[in-house]
Structures are given as C-alpha cells and as structure tokens.
Structure 1
C-alpha cells in the first residue's frame, strides 16, 4: 500500500529539506522561538536564565551530533550516561563578534558486555562521521569555523 505521495506506507515520511523557526518578542530583550511543530524555547540577552542565541547555537551543535551518535550506538547498547558538552570562545576582532575554538566533548558510558563493547567500538567512528558529514549544524558552522571534537 502506498501513500498519496507514492511512498510505501510502511516507510517513515521523508524529511523536508526546508527548516524554519519563528521568533516573537515578549518584551525588550526577551523572545520566544517557536518551531513548526509548536515547540517553544525562551531566548534572551542573558539577563535571566533563558538561553542566549549563542547558547542555542552551541545547543544546536550538541543536539545535532548527539542524535547522530545516539541513534547509531544505541542499536548496540543503551548508554548508562550520555552527556555532550560544547564550549567556545567568544571573540571580537576585525571580522566582528564570533565564536572560535569550538570543542565538542562526548562523555558517554555503555554497560559491560557484548552490546556495550560494540557501542564503545564504533563510538569514535560515529563521532567522526557526525563531525565530517552527518551533523548539519556543525557542518554549517564549520564552513567558516573549524570545530574540534574530543572523546573523554
């Protein structure tokens, strides 16, 4: 059986290539970002605990690469812990304000046993593939800024 678009019904729908968000102002320096599915994130200049735009960029890098790594390694074993830290230096120079020295650090632990061993074995390769070609966010940033990855 197929769907109206001609894709088999048992396949997940194709991901659209277009991505978008909408940002609305709550008050001076405070905004709400909304995605097409209705999810929201408060954003501000950093005067409160809302995420700043720079933190959202770093979160985008962490989230994107985490999805890549998690989906591929969890096929072998569920992680006991899974944390990805992203840090960067904010600089202002002749090119204006920007980030440099972006570092993504993976802190992932898998259980003992064959599944955990298999997940640990592929982790470096999956992290590298995410860095080199899979993660849309970091790949986009890297066009202008190198990103280092660290497995700790």
Structure 2
C-alpha cells in the first residue's frame, strides 16, 4: 500500500489524508503537506459531521472568493454550512444541506462588479467547480477495506 501522505503530482488524481488515534476518542488527521486537524468525541473537538460541513463550505468558499476577489476584495466573507443529521431505516445521514454566503463587497464600481457576478459564480461552483459538494450531491460509494496485517513488533 502506498503512503497516503505523498504529495500529488500534476497528473496524479489521488488525494488522501491519514487519521491516527492519539488517545481515547481523539484522532489527528494529517495531509500530504503536513497540515493537521484534530477530530474526536470531546465537546471542543470537531465531529466528523462538522468536518463534512467544513469541507462543503471550504471548497465552495475558496472557489467563490477566488473568482469574486478578482473584481473586488470583500469587506467580509462568511459561509454558514448547515444541514440536519437524521437517522431512519437506512441509517444515519445528513439532509437539507445548505451553504449560506454572507458576503459584503465595498461600495463603488469594483464592488458592484463583484456583486454582479456572485449569482453566476455560486451557480458555477455548485454545478461544476466544487469537488466536495458535487461528490456529495452526485453520490459516491465509499469502500471500507482492511489493510494487510503487519508483522508483530517484539
């Protein structure tokens, strides 16, 4: 098995993170660049569902900010990601996912230009640019596999 923390080459489509247990109910996620984030069951930890919401908001925000800030730097730029965690006969899942963009651009011609393209940029981000929301929206099976056993350490 290849290491998940190898940087992707320009033609490599593979993306991966590694999750490592650091204590009871505590995990550290590490990306290929060495960035980390904690996840767990303590009250102050991000839950996996919150990380899903963060991924949706982050992916969309990066794309929207990149395209609108070419016209004007935002005065403020916030995204609220929300949904409902439900459990039914099929199991647990999130429903009614929504991203609410709270953006303010400066007065004047540049701000007007950024505001004018915002609806189109949101639609493009939703329809084809944001990999995370498109994956969630289109659905993708997730394989659960066991790696081969490693030799015992003595």
TM-score in terms of structure 2 length: 0.82
User: Could you tell me how far apart the structure 2 residues matched to 1:15 and 1:71 are?
Assistant: 23
Moved segments of 4+, more than 2 Å: 13-16
Spell out, residue by residue over 1:16-72, the C-alpha distance to the aligned partner (whole angstroms, 9 max, x if none).
421100000011111000000000000002x23111110000000000000110000
1:70 aligns with 2:65: yes
Of 105, 111, 132, the match for 2:106: 111
User: Could you tell me how far apart the structure 1 residues matched to 2:73 and 2:21 are?
Assistant: 40
Spell out, residue by residue over 1:78-117, the C-alpha distance to the aligned partner (whole angstroms, 9 max, x if none).
0000000000100001110000000110000000111100
1:102 aligns with 2:97: yes
Of 46, 51, 57, the match for 2:52: 57
The match for 1:28 is 24
Q: How does 1:126-137 map to 2 (within 5 A)?
A: 126-137=121-132
User: Could you tell me how far apart the structure 1 residues matched to 2:104 and 2:51 are?
Assistant: 25
TM-score in terms of structure 1 length: 0.83
SS of corresponding position for 2:99: strand
Report the number of matched residues: 132
User: Could you tell me how far apart the structure 2 residues matched to 1:54 and 1:83 are?
Assistant: 19
User: Could you tell me how far apart the structure 2 residues matched to 1:111 and 1:18 are?
Assistant: 39
Distance 1:99 1:117, change over 3 A: same
The match for 2:35 is 39
